[in-house]
Amino acid sequence: MKNWLFSHKARGLWLAVAAGVLYGLAARLAFYGANPAWENLFTTMTCGFIFLMPAALGYLTVRFLHAPRLWQRIVLPWLPGLILVATAFAVGWEGSICIVMALPAFMVMGSIGGLLEQRARDRLSDRNQMSALLGMLLLPYAVAPLEQLNGLPAQVRTVETQIMINADVETVWQQIIRVPAITVDEQRFNLVHLIGIPKPVAATLSHEGVGGVRHATFEHGVTFVETINEWQPHQSLAFTIDALAETMAVEDLNAKVVVGGAYFDTLDGRYELEPLTDGRVVLHLSSEHRLSTRFNFYAGWWTDWVMRSTQNYILDVIKARCEAGG
Q: What is the pLDDT of residues 194-241, one digit of tens each?
A: 888 889 999 999 999 999 999 999 998 899 999 999 999 999 999 999
DSSP β-ladder status, 264-275 and 281-291: antiparallel
DSSP assignment letter at 274: E
Instruction: Specify the pLDDT at position 4.
Output: 46
For 114, residues 6+ apart whose C-beta sits below 8 A from its C-beta are 58, 59, 61, 62, 68, 72, 73, 74, 76, 77
- At residue 279, the 3 state secondary structure works out as coil
Question: In 3D, which of 21, 88, 16, 90 has the Cα closest to residue 53?
Answer: 21
The edge-to-edge listing of strands for the beta sheet with 236-243 is 155-165, 281-291, 264-275, 236-243, 223-232, 213-218, 200-205
DSSP β-ladder status, 155-165 and 264-275: unpaired
Instruction: Give me the domains of the chain, ranges plus CATH numbers.
Output: 2-147 (no CATH), 155-323 (3.30.530.20)
Question: In 3D, which of 34, 256, 62, 27 has the Cα closest to residue 143?
Answer: 27
Instruction: Specify the pLDDT at position 315.
Output: 97
DSSP assignment letter at 185: G
Instruction: Specify the pLDDT at position 195.
Output: 85
For 238, phi and psi rounded to 5 degrees? -130, 150
d(Cα 174, Cα 165) in Å, to the nearest integer? Answer: 13
* Cβ 60 vs Cβ 20: under 8 Å: yes
For 262, residues 6+ apart whose C-beta sits below 8 A from its C-beta are 152, 255, 292
The per-residue b/e assignment along 170-185, b for 16 or more CB within 10 angstroms, e otherwise, is ebbbebbbebeebeee
* Cβ 129 vs Cβ 121: under 8 Å: yes
d(Cα 225, Cα 207) in Å, to the nearest integer? Answer: 14
d(Cα 52, Cα 45) in Å, to the nearest integer? Answer: 12
Instruction: Specify the pLDDT at position 168.
Output: 94
d(Cα 13, Cα 3) in Å, to the nearest integer? Answer: 14
Instruction: Specify the pLDDT at position 178.
Output: 94
Which residue type is seen at 17? Answer: V
Q: Please list the pLDDT of the chain residue by residue as tens digits (326 residues).
A: 445 444 556 666 788 888 888 999 989 888 875 555 666 678 888 999 999 999 999 999 998 887 678 888 899 999 999 999 888 888 877 778 888 899 999 999 999 999 999 888 888 888 898 999 999 999 999 999 999 888 888 999 999 999 999 999 999 999 999 999 999 888 888 888 888 888 999 999 999 999 999 999 999 889 999 999 999 999 999 999 998 888 776 555 555 667 878 889 999 999 999 999 999 999 999 999 999 999 999 999 999 999 999 999 999 999 999 998 75
Instruction: Specify the pLDDT at position 326.
Output: 57
d(Cα 281, Cα 146) in Å, to the nearest integer? Answer: 52
Instruction: Specify the pLDDT at position 301.
Output: 95
How many CB atoms are closer than 10 A to CB 167?
A: 22
Instruction: Specify the pLDDT at position 250.
Output: 57
